[in-house]
Amino acid sequence: MQIVFGIDFGTTNSALSVYQNGTVEVVAVDGTESGGELMRSVLYFNEEHEVFAGHEAIHQYVSDGAVGRFMQSIKTFLPNTSFVTTEIFGKRYTIDDLVAIILRKIKARGEAHVGCSVESVVMGRPVVFSKDAAKDAVAEQRLEKAARKAGFKNIWFQYEPVAAALTFEESLKPGEERVVFIGDFGGGTSDFSVIRVKGGAFDRSDRRSDVLSLGGVYVAGDKFDSQIMWDKVAHHFGRYARYKTMGKDDWNSIPKSIIYTLCQWHRIPLLRARKTRELIRVIKGTADDRRAIEHLENIISDNYGFFLFQAIEKAKCELSGQEMTRIDFKDRDLNITEELSREEFETLNGDNFQQIASCIDEVVSKSGLQTAQIDTVFLTGGTSRIPLIQALFTERFGRGKLEQRNAFTSVVHGLGSSVPLFV
């Protein structure tokens, strides 16, 4: 009897399902976390070269006083061909080494659950890792390599929104047929598919002809957080500071690239490069807002970007349920309190929402159908909780067509349901 795992390695959260005897079960993968179904896709290395994943990583990072190396949104590095290795306390890691650590842990959890070793896995992948086909292929190869390093021998890939569609299909009555628009809004990517689904006995045939269109865009939860950082918080770190170069009287703006990197929290460690730190030190010498530049130095050296972004993310999530919130954050003499309304959040992310909206229209148009011919819109993923995301669909399809369930597990469940398509 064959057991196959389904693994949704997400930008923010990862999850596991087990396919066994024709049924699929979602298995808690990070027992220490509340709920436990999901594992945060994060890693923490301490100076003794011990590595922790998921909740343990966050716990250890916090209790060590944020001294080691903490990594999140690792999935977004997969298509980045300029990222070859990273050095952590003198040891080199490739991107697939890092992903393998997380996959190995998930695999072990699953094996403890089923009581035997498992060598086959269906891995989820976004529809678009990168617009560049070569980079997209690199991303999938790296993910496959990671799965191999984690100990899997048979590895298949399924598109994340197609997996979500298979989960949705299971809620239909036998014989009930629908054309569904699937929207999976995660941390790194928003993935879409128009797909024909049918309730009843699971269809083991190749489902490719049921997929009418696929598409995706690299704009999701992380981008919204970055945008809040850019517009509401980055001024505390010198976004508008000016400085003078030696012997000249003109004011210069701080290089945009520094602030831009600061706004993608998982890239903040890149600012530790000697050249950049030296430049920041020089800027501080003549800056008109010296305190802001000191905060910039502190966030780089003290590595507290994670906590700052947690405060930002918390505010963003609150705005899904209320009109007004506040970003609160303190560190040494830094004291951030920024009011943020839902309306302002929507305005400052206008361009991001626009990119998502265009991609939705493109995927509908590629399907060859009119919106009226699409029966249901099924939304999943944490970011689908944002009211404006839902509004993008009610505007186009009408309120009655929207369905939302299992924001965090419909993809992983569907990866398990995909097993008969491959095995």
Query: Over the chain, what HEC string results?
Result: CCCEEEEEECCCEEEEEEEECCEEEEECCCCCCCCCCCEECCEEECCCCCEEEHHHHHHHHHHCCCCCEEECCHHHHCCCCCCCEEEECCEEEEHHHHHHHHHHHHHHHHHHHHCCCCCEEEEEECCCCCCCHHHHHHHHHHHHHHHHHCCCCEEEEEEHHHHHHHHHHCCCCCCCEEEEEEEEECCCCEEEEEEEEECCCCCCCCCHHHEEEEEEECCCHHHHHHHHHHHHHHHHHCCCCEECCCCCCCCEECCHHHHHHHCCHHHHHHHHCHHHHHHHHHHHHHCCCHHHHHHHHHHHHHCCHHHHHHHHHHHHHHCCCCCEEEEEEEECCEEEEEEEEHHHHHHHCHHHHHHHHHHHHHHHHHCCCCHHHCCEEEEECHHHHCHHHHHHHHHHHCHHHEEECCCCCHHHHHHHHCHHHHC
The reply on whether position 221 binds ligand ATP by CB under 6 A is: yes
Q: Which span sits near ligand ATP by CB under 6 A: 161-169, 181-189, 196-204, 415-423? A: 181-189
Q: Which span sits near ligand ATP by CB under 6 A: 173-181, 184-192, 322-330, 353-361? A: 184-192
Q: Interaction with ligand ATP in 302-341: which residues (CB under 6 A)?
A: 313, 316-317, 320
Q: Interaction with Mg ion in 358-387: which residues (CB under 5 A)?
A: none
Quote the least distance from Cβ 125 to ligand ATP, whole Å.
Answer: 9
The reply on whether position 10 binds Mg ion by CB under 5 A is: yes
Quote the least distance from Cβ 6 to Mg ion, whole Å.
Answer: 13
The reply on whether position 68 binds Mg ion by CB under 5 A is: no
Residue with smaller CB distance to ligand ATP, 219 or 259: 219
Q: Interaction with ligand ATP in 62-81: which residues (CB under 6 A)?
A: 75
The reply on whether position 220 binds ligand ATP by CB under 6 A is: yes
Q: Alpha carbon 335 to chain centroid distance?
A: 28
Half-sphere exposure of 129 (CA within 13 A, CB side): 25
Using CB under 6 A as the criterion, what x/- string covers residues 371-400 for binding ligand ATP? ----------xxx-xx--------------
The reply on whether position 193 binds ligand ATP by CB under 6 A is: no
The dihedral built from the CA positions of residue 13, 19, 22 and 23, taken in this order, carries a sign that is negative
The reply on whether position 125 binds ligand ATP by CB under 6 A is: no
**Could you say which of Mg ion, ligand ATP, none residue 313 binds, taking C-beta under 5 to 8 angstroms by partner kind?**
ligand ATP
The reply on whether position 414 binds ligand ATP by CB under 6 A is: no
The reply on whether position 126 binds Mg ion by CB under 5 A is: no
Q: Nearest to Mg ion by Cβ — which residue?
A: 186
Quote the least distance from Cβ 240 to ligand ATP, whole Å.
Answer: 27
**Could you say which of Mg ion, ligand ATP, none residue 220 binds, taking C-beta under 5 to 8 angstroms by partner kind?**
ligand ATP
**Could you say which of ligand ATP, Mg ion, none residue 105 binds, taking C-beta under 5 to 8 angstroms by partner kind?**
none
Using CB under 6 A as the criterion, what x/- string covers residues 263-302 for binding ligand ATP? ----------------------------------------
Residue with smaller CB distance to Mg ion, 68 or 79: 79
The reply on whether position 186 binds Mg ion by CB under 5 A is: yes
CA distance 409 to 203: 21
Quote the least distance from Cβ 4 to ligand ATP, whole Å.
Answer: 20
Annotate 369-393 with b (16+ C-beta within 10 A) or e (fewer).
eebeebebbbbbbbbbbbebbbebb
Residue with smaller CB distance to ligand ATP, 152 or 408: 408
Quote the least distance from Cβ 272 to ligand ATP, whole Å.
Answer: 25
CA distance 30 to 14: 9
Residue with smaller CB distance to Mg ion, 238 or 382: 382
The residue from 54, 110, 187, 305 that contacts ligand ATP (CB under 6 A) is 187
Sites of contact with ligand ATP (CB under 6 A): 10-13, 75, 186-189, 220-222, 313, 316-317, 320, 381-383, 385-386, 408
Sites of contact with Mg ion (CB under 5 A): 10, 186
